[in-house]
Amino acid sequence: MIINHFDYENVKEDGTFDDDDGAVEVVGSIKFSEYNGGCGLSSCDCSDGHWICITEPRNSNREVHGVTLKFGSNAEMIKYIDEFVSESSRFRSSPEKA
C-alpha cells in the first residue's frame, strides 16, 4: 500500500482555487475506486488502479486536507478494509446498562 497525504490552500467555497486550475471536494468524503480500478469514467485517466481517498471538509482557513491509499489490486484493498473494520470494532464502547 502507498499512502499519499494531500493539502490544498486557498480553496474557495465551491472547491476551486484562488490561484490555480482544478477543484477539490469541500464537504469531506470517502471514495473508492471502481472494482476494476480507476474512477469509472472510460475517458478519464485521473486515477488508475485501486484506491481509497479520504477528504476532510474545508476548514475556516480555506484548507482541504486528505489522504489517498493506493493498492496493488482490488483484493488487497478489500483485505485492508476488512482488517480495518475488524480492528476498529475492538474500540466500540459497550452500551450503558440501565
Q: Is residue 97 part of a domain?
A: no
Q: Is residue 64 part of a domain?
A: yes
63: cell is 484548507
Q: Is residue 78 part of a domain?
A: yes
The helix (H) or strand (E) run that includes residue 30 is strand 29-32
Q: Is residue 98 part of a domain?
A: no
Q: Is residue 57 part of a domain?
A: yes
Q: Which residues contact 51 (CB under 8 A, 6 or more apart)?
A: 32, 33, 68, 69, 70, 71, 77
Range of the domain at 52: 2-34+46-91
Percent of all residues in the chain with a pLDDT value above 70, rounded to a whole number: 84
Residue 60 Rama label (left phi>0; alpha psi -120 to 50; beta): alpha
pLDDT of 36 > 90? The answer is no
Report the number of distinct structural domains present in the chain.
1
Using CA of residue 48, residue 54, residue 58, residue 60, what is the dihedral sign? negative
Q: What is the mean pLDDT of the chain?
A: 85
For residues 14-40, average pLDDT: 86
Q: Is residue 96 part of a domain?
A: no
Find the distance separating the first CA and the last CA of the chain, reported in whole Å: 44
Q: Is residue 39 part of a domain?
A: no
